[in-house]
Amino acid sequence: MSTLVWFDDEVRPADEPVVTALDRGLLVGDGVFDTCVVIDGRPFALRRHVARLARSAERVGLPAPPADVVTRAALDLAARLDGPTGRLRITWTAGPAEGGPARTGTTPTLLLTAETHPVAHPSAASAQAPVRTALVTVPWVRNERSPLVGVKSTSYAENVLAIEYARRHGGTEAVLANTRDELCEGGASNLFLETDGELLTPPLDSGCLAGVTRELVLEWGAAAGLPVREATVPLADFRAADHAAVTSATRGIVAADILDGRKLRPGPVTLEMQRVFAERVAQDLDP
Ligand SMILES: Cc1ncc(COP(=O)(O)O)c(C=O)c1O
Protein backbone atom coordinates (compact mmCIF):
# COMPACT_ATOMS: atom_id res chain seq x y z
CA MET A 1 0.00 0.00 0.00
CA SER A 2 1.36 3.42 -0.83
CA THR A 3 0.09 6.75 0.46
CA LEU A 4 0.77 10.12 -1.12
CA VAL A 5 0.07 13.61 0.15
CA TRP A 6 -0.41 16.81 -1.86
CA PHE A 7 0.12 20.07 0.00
CA ASP A 8 1.17 23.53 -1.16
CA ASP A 9 1.62 22.44 -4.77
CA GLU A 10 3.91 19.53 -3.98
CA VAL A 11 3.49 15.78 -3.66
CA ARG A 12 5.06 14.61 -0.42
CA PRO A 13 5.58 11.40 1.52
CA ALA A 14 2.77 10.56 3.93
CA ASP A 15 4.88 11.02 7.06
CA GLU A 16 5.93 14.60 6.30
CA PRO A 17 4.19 17.06 8.66
CA VAL A 18 2.19 19.63 6.71
CA VAL A 19 -0.44 21.42 8.79
CA THR A 20 0.33 23.58 11.83
CA ALA A 21 -0.68 22.73 15.38
CA LEU A 22 -3.22 25.58 15.20
CA ASP A 23 -5.15 24.27 12.22
CA ARG A 24 -8.87 24.47 12.97
CA GLY A 25 -9.49 21.27 11.09
CA LEU A 26 -7.36 19.51 13.66
CA LEU A 27 -8.44 21.43 16.75
CA VAL A 28 -12.21 21.78 16.32
CA GLY A 29 -13.13 19.75 13.23
CA ASP A 30 -13.77 22.99 11.33
CA GLY A 31 -13.46 21.81 7.75
CA VAL A 32 -14.95 19.76 4.95
CA PHE A 33 -13.72 16.92 2.80
CA ASP A 34 -14.62 14.65 -0.03
CA THR A 35 -13.48 11.18 -1.05
CA CYS A 36 -13.53 9.47 -4.41
CA VAL A 37 -12.37 6.14 -5.70
CA VAL A 38 -9.40 5.86 -8.06
CA ILE A 39 -9.81 3.44 -10.95
CA ASP A 40 -6.85 2.72 -13.21
CA GLY A 41 -5.11 5.95 -12.20
CA ARG A 42 -8.18 8.20 -12.61
CA PRO A 43 -10.35 9.66 -9.84
CA PHE A 44 -13.92 8.51 -10.55
CA ALA A 45 -16.65 11.18 -10.81
CA LEU A 46 -14.15 13.88 -9.83
CA ARG A 47 -16.29 16.78 -11.05
CA ARG A 48 -19.22 15.68 -8.89
CA HIS A 49 -16.96 15.27 -5.86
CA VAL A 50 -15.31 18.68 -6.36
CA ALA A 51 -18.77 20.25 -6.75
CA ARG A 52 -19.98 18.61 -3.52
CA LEU A 53 -16.85 19.81 -1.72
CA ALA A 54 -17.71 23.37 -2.79
CA ARG A 55 -21.31 22.91 -1.58
CA SER A 56 -20.06 21.57 1.77
CA ALA A 57 -17.70 24.56 2.10
CA GLU A 58 -20.46 27.02 1.31
CA ARG A 59 -22.78 25.39 3.84
CA VAL A 60 -20.26 25.87 6.66
CA GLY A 61 -19.32 29.41 5.60
CA LEU A 62 -15.91 28.64 4.10
CA PRO A 63 -14.87 29.95 0.69
CA ALA A 64 -15.07 27.40 -2.11
CA PRO A 65 -11.77 25.61 -2.66
CA PRO A 66 -10.12 26.52 -6.00
CA ALA A 67 -11.64 23.90 -8.32
CA ASP A 68 -8.82 24.09 -10.86
CA VAL A 69 -6.10 23.54 -8.25
CA VAL A 70 -8.04 20.72 -6.60
CA THR A 71 -8.70 19.02 -9.94
CA ARG A 72 -5.10 19.27 -11.07
CA ALA A 73 -3.79 17.94 -7.75
CA ALA A 74 -6.32 15.09 -7.73
CA LEU A 75 -5.45 13.99 -11.26
CA ASP A 76 -1.74 14.18 -10.45
CA LEU A 77 -2.00 12.14 -7.23
CA ALA A 78 -4.30 9.52 -8.75
CA ALA A 79 -1.97 8.99 -11.69
CA ARG A 80 0.96 8.37 -9.33
CA LEU A 81 -0.74 5.68 -7.26
CA ASP A 82 0.54 2.12 -7.42
CA GLY A 83 -2.07 -0.52 -8.08
CA PRO A 84 -5.30 -0.63 -10.05
CA THR A 85 -7.56 0.96 -7.43
CA GLY A 86 -7.31 3.40 -4.60
CA ARG A 87 -9.05 6.19 -2.80
CA LEU A 88 -8.39 9.89 -2.87
CA ARG A 89 -9.42 12.41 -0.26
CA ILE A 90 -9.58 16.20 -0.56
CA THR A 91 -9.59 18.09 2.72
CA TRP A 92 -10.35 21.82 3.06
CA THR A 93 -10.17 23.18 6.58
CA ALA A 94 -10.71 26.65 8.05
CA GLY A 95 -6.91 26.80 8.39
CA PRO A 96 -4.66 27.95 11.23
CA ALA A 97 -6.11 30.43 13.72
CA GLU A 98 -6.16 31.34 17.40
CA GLY A 99 -7.59 28.64 19.62
CA GLY A 100 -11.24 28.62 20.65
CA PRO A 101 -14.42 27.93 18.77
CA ALA A 102 -14.72 31.29 16.93
CA ARG A 103 -13.10 31.72 13.53
CA THR A 104 -10.56 34.55 13.44
CA GLY A 105 -9.71 35.52 9.88
CA THR A 106 -8.50 32.17 8.67
CA THR A 107 -6.80 31.15 5.44
CA PRO A 108 -8.08 27.69 4.55
CA THR A 109 -5.80 24.69 4.34
CA LEU A 110 -6.01 22.48 1.24
CA LEU A 111 -4.68 18.96 1.53
CA LEU A 112 -5.09 15.86 -0.63
CA THR A 113 -4.20 12.29 0.23
CA ALA A 114 -4.32 9.21 -1.95
CA GLU A 115 -3.66 5.60 -1.16
CA THR A 116 -3.81 2.32 -2.98
CA HIS A 117 -6.75 0.41 -1.65
CA PRO A 118 -8.53 -2.72 -2.84
CA VAL A 119 -12.05 -1.56 -3.59
CA ALA A 120 -15.22 -3.38 -4.45
CA HIS A 121 -16.03 -1.03 -7.28
CA PRO A 122 -17.74 -3.13 -9.93
CA SER A 123 -16.12 -1.21 -12.75
CA ALA A 124 -12.55 -1.94 -11.73
CA ALA A 125 -11.66 -5.13 -13.54
CA SER A 126 -9.00 -5.99 -11.01
CA ALA A 127 -10.99 -4.95 -7.95
CA GLN A 128 -11.15 -7.38 -5.09
CA ALA A 129 -14.62 -8.08 -3.79
CA PRO A 130 -15.15 -7.20 -0.12
CA VAL A 131 -15.33 -10.12 2.24
CA ARG A 132 -18.87 -9.19 3.26
CA THR A 133 -21.13 -6.28 4.12
CA ALA A 134 -22.70 -6.75 7.53
CA LEU A 135 -25.00 -3.98 8.75
CA VAL A 136 -25.60 -3.24 12.41
CA THR A 137 -28.20 -0.74 13.63
CA VAL A 138 -26.63 1.59 16.16
CA PRO A 139 -28.35 3.06 19.24
CA TRP A 140 -27.78 6.68 18.16
CA VAL A 141 -29.64 8.76 15.60
CA ARG A 142 -28.71 11.26 12.91
CA ASN A 143 -30.21 14.67 13.66
CA GLU A 144 -31.93 15.67 10.43
CA ARG A 145 -32.11 19.27 11.74
CA SER A 146 -28.38 19.56 12.44
CA PRO A 147 -26.55 22.42 10.69
CA LEU A 148 -24.17 19.78 9.34
CA VAL A 149 -26.84 17.81 7.47
CA GLY A 150 -25.67 17.29 3.91
CA VAL A 151 -22.17 18.55 4.74
CA LYS A 152 -19.22 16.19 4.43
CA SER A 153 -17.61 17.66 7.52
CA THR A 154 -14.27 16.80 9.10
CA SER A 155 -16.30 16.66 12.34
CA TYR A 156 -16.67 12.96 11.64
CA ALA A 157 -16.48 11.49 15.14
CA GLU A 158 -20.18 10.51 15.24
CA ASN A 159 -19.66 8.45 12.10
CA VAL A 160 -16.47 6.93 13.48
CA LEU A 161 -18.24 5.89 16.68
CA ALA A 162 -21.17 4.43 14.75
CA ILE A 163 -18.85 2.34 12.57
CA GLU A 164 -16.83 1.24 15.59
CA TYR A 165 -20.07 0.16 17.31
CA ALA A 166 -20.97 -1.88 14.22
CA ARG A 167 -17.53 -3.47 14.20
CA ARG A 168 -17.71 -4.37 17.89
CA HIS A 169 -20.99 -6.11 17.11
CA GLY A 170 -19.57 -8.16 14.25
CA GLY A 171 -20.52 -5.77 11.45
CA THR A 172 -18.76 -3.73 8.82
CA GLU A 173 -21.13 -0.76 8.53
CA ALA A 174 -23.57 1.07 10.79
CA VAL A 175 -27.25 1.76 10.12
CA LEU A 176 -28.49 5.13 11.37
CA ALA A 177 -32.08 6.27 11.72
CA ASN A 178 -33.03 9.92 12.16
CA THR A 179 -34.95 11.46 15.07
CA ARG A 180 -38.24 10.48 13.35
CA ASP A 181 -37.28 6.77 13.40
CA GLU A 182 -36.88 6.79 9.63
CA LEU A 183 -33.96 5.16 7.88
CA CYS A 184 -31.27 7.80 7.28
CA GLU A 185 -27.92 6.39 6.08
CA GLY A 186 -24.90 4.28 6.92
CA GLY A 187 -21.92 5.43 8.96
CA ALA A 188 -20.06 6.24 5.74
CA SER A 189 -22.54 5.22 3.05
CA ASN A 190 -26.08 5.57 1.78
CA LEU A 191 -28.56 2.75 2.26
CA PHE A 192 -31.15 1.18 -0.02
CA LEU A 193 -34.02 -1.17 0.75
CA GLU A 194 -35.30 -3.53 -1.92
CA THR A 195 -38.92 -4.38 -1.36
CA ASP A 196 -41.89 -5.27 -3.58
CA GLY A 197 -39.71 -5.13 -6.67
CA GLU A 198 -38.44 -1.60 -5.96
CA LEU A 199 -35.11 -0.24 -4.78
CA LEU A 200 -35.77 2.62 -2.35
CA THR A 201 -33.42 5.10 -0.66
CA PRO A 202 -34.28 7.83 1.87
CA PRO A 203 -34.75 11.37 0.51
CA LEU A 204 -32.24 14.06 1.46
CA ASP A 205 -34.63 15.49 4.08
CA SER A 206 -34.00 12.30 6.08
CA GLY A 207 -30.70 13.96 6.99
CA CYS A 208 -28.50 11.75 4.84
CA LEU A 209 -25.53 12.94 2.84
CA ALA A 210 -26.18 13.50 -0.87
CA GLY A 211 -23.88 10.62 -1.78
CA VAL A 212 -22.41 10.84 -5.26
CA THR A 213 -22.91 7.09 -5.70
CA ARG A 214 -26.53 7.33 -4.49
CA GLU A 215 -27.11 10.14 -7.00
CA LEU A 216 -25.63 8.04 -9.83
CA VAL A 217 -27.72 5.01 -8.85
CA LEU A 218 -30.89 7.15 -8.91
CA GLU A 219 -29.96 8.75 -12.26
CA TRP A 220 -28.66 5.65 -14.02
CA GLY A 221 -31.37 3.42 -12.57
CA ALA A 222 -34.09 5.75 -13.89
CA ALA A 223 -32.38 6.02 -17.29
CA ALA A 224 -32.25 2.21 -17.52
CA GLY A 225 -35.96 1.97 -16.62
CA LEU A 226 -35.29 0.29 -13.27
CA PRO A 227 -37.66 0.81 -10.32
CA VAL A 228 -35.23 2.87 -8.22
CA ARG A 229 -36.48 5.91 -6.34
CA GLU A 230 -36.40 7.97 -3.16
CA ALA A 231 -38.87 7.08 -0.44
CA THR A 232 -39.19 7.64 3.28
CA VAL A 233 -38.53 4.25 4.89
CA PRO A 234 -39.45 3.58 8.52
CA LEU A 235 -36.41 2.06 10.27
CA ALA A 236 -38.55 -0.94 11.29
CA ASP A 237 -39.30 -1.69 7.61
CA PHE A 238 -35.62 -1.55 6.74
CA ARG A 239 -34.71 -3.86 9.60
CA ALA A 240 -37.30 -6.37 8.39
CA ALA A 241 -35.98 -6.27 4.82
CA ASP A 242 -35.10 -9.32 2.76
CA HIS A 243 -32.77 -7.27 0.58
CA ALA A 244 -30.67 -4.20 1.36
CA ALA A 245 -27.85 -2.43 -0.45
CA VAL A 246 -25.12 0.02 0.44
CA THR A 247 -23.58 2.71 -1.75
CA SER A 248 -20.43 4.77 -1.38
CA ALA A 249 -17.60 6.00 -3.56
CA THR A 250 -15.30 3.13 -2.63
CA ARG A 251 -17.95 0.42 -2.64
CA GLY A 252 -20.05 1.37 -5.65
CA ILE A 253 -23.33 -0.44 -4.98
CA VAL A 254 -23.10 -3.65 -2.96
CA ALA A 255 -25.77 -5.92 -1.55
CA ALA A 256 -25.74 -6.33 2.23
CA ASP A 257 -25.10 -9.92 3.38
CA ILE A 258 -26.20 -9.51 6.97
CA LEU A 259 -28.52 -7.07 8.76
CA ASP A 260 -28.50 -7.13 12.56
CA GLY A 261 -27.33 -10.74 12.54
CA ARG A 262 -29.90 -11.90 9.97
CA LYS A 263 -28.72 -13.23 6.61
CA LEU A 264 -29.88 -11.34 3.51
CA ARG A 265 -29.79 -12.26 -0.16
CA PRO A 266 -29.02 -9.79 -2.95
CA GLY A 267 -32.28 -8.56 -4.44
CA PRO A 268 -32.94 -8.88 -8.19
CA VAL A 269 -33.23 -5.10 -8.73
CA THR A 270 -29.98 -4.58 -6.80
CA LEU A 271 -28.22 -7.12 -9.03
CA GLU A 272 -29.54 -5.44 -12.15
CA MET A 273 -28.54 -2.04 -10.78
CA GLN A 274 -25.01 -3.33 -10.14
CA ARG A 275 -24.80 -4.43 -13.75
CA VAL A 276 -26.02 -1.05 -15.04
CA PHE A 277 -23.67 0.77 -12.68
CA ALA A 278 -20.63 -1.20 -13.85
CA GLU A 279 -21.59 -0.67 -17.48
CA ARG A 280 -21.97 3.10 -17.05
CA VAL A 281 -18.70 3.45 -15.13
CA ALA A 282 -16.89 1.53 -17.86
CA GLN A 283 -18.24 4.06 -20.38
CA ASP A 284 -17.28 7.23 -18.53
CA LEU A 285 -15.01 7.79 -15.51
CA ASP A 286 -16.24 11.34 -14.93
CA PRO A 287 -20.02 11.20 -15.45
C1 LIG B 1 -22.12 9.85 6.06
C2 LIG B 1 -21.97 9.40 4.64
N3 LIG B 1 -23.07 9.14 3.92
C4 LIG B 1 -22.97 8.73 2.63
C5 LIG B 1 -21.74 8.55 2.03
C6 LIG B 1 -21.66 8.07 0.60
O7 LIG B 1 -21.33 9.12 -0.26
P8 LIG B 1 -20.51 8.86 -1.61
O9 LIG B 1 -21.33 7.94 -2.46
O10 LIG B 1 -20.38 10.21 -2.22
O11 LIG B 1 -19.21 8.25 -1.22
C12 LIG B 1 -20.58 8.81 2.75
C13 LIG B 1 -19.25 8.63 2.14
O14 LIG B 1 -18.25 8.55 2.81
C15 LIG B 1 -20.70 9.27 4.08
O16 LIG B 1 -19.61 9.54 4.83
Report whether residue 151 contacts ligand 1, using a CB cutoff of 6 Å: no
Average pLDDT over residues 19-32: 94
Report which protein residue has its CA nearest ligand 1's atom 2.
Answer: 188
pLDDT, one tens digit per residue, over 29-70 is 999 999 999 998 999 999 999 999 999 999 999 999 999 999
What does the pLDDT look like over 1-14, one tens digit per residue? 589 999 999 999 98
Helix, coil or strand: residue 221: helix
pLDDT over 80 (residue 100): no
pLDDT at 7: 97
pTM of the model: 0.95
* Of the candidate ranges 18-22, 91-95, 125-129, 201-205, the one whose mean pLDDT is the lowest: 125-129
Instruction: Report yes or no: 25 and 42 within 8 Å, Cβ to Cβ.
Output: no
- The percentage of the chain sitting over the pLDDT mark of 90, rounded to a whole number, equals 87
Q: How far is CA 282 from CA 26, 34, 39, 122, 223, in A?
A: 38, 22, 10, 9, 16
Q: How far apart are CA 32 and CA 55, in angstroms?
A: 10
Which of 190, 214, 247 has most ligand 1 atoms within 8 Å of CB, for mutation? 190
DSSP state of 204: G
Residue 262 has pLDDT above 80, yes or no: yes
Indicate which residue's Cα is closest to atom 4 of ligand 1. Answer: 189
Give mean pLDDT, residues 176-195.
Answer: 98
Q: From residue 156, how far is each of 15, 80, 125, 187, 276 by CA, in Å? A: 22, 28, 31, 10, 32
Residue 128: pLDDT band (50, 70, 90) is: low
The alpha carbon of 56 and the centre of ligand 1 are apart by a number of angstroms equal to 13
Residue identifier of the C-alpha nearest atom 15 of ligand 1: 188
Percentage with pLDDT > 70 across the chain: 95
What ligand 1 atom has the least distance to the C-alpha of 159? Answer: 1
Q: Please identify, by atom number, the ligand 1 atom nearest to the C-alpha of residue 52.
A: 10
> For residue 105, what pLDDT band results from cuts at 50, 70 and 90?
confident
**pLDDT at res. 125:** 45
What pLDDT score does 126 carry?
44
Average pLDDT over residues 61-80: 97
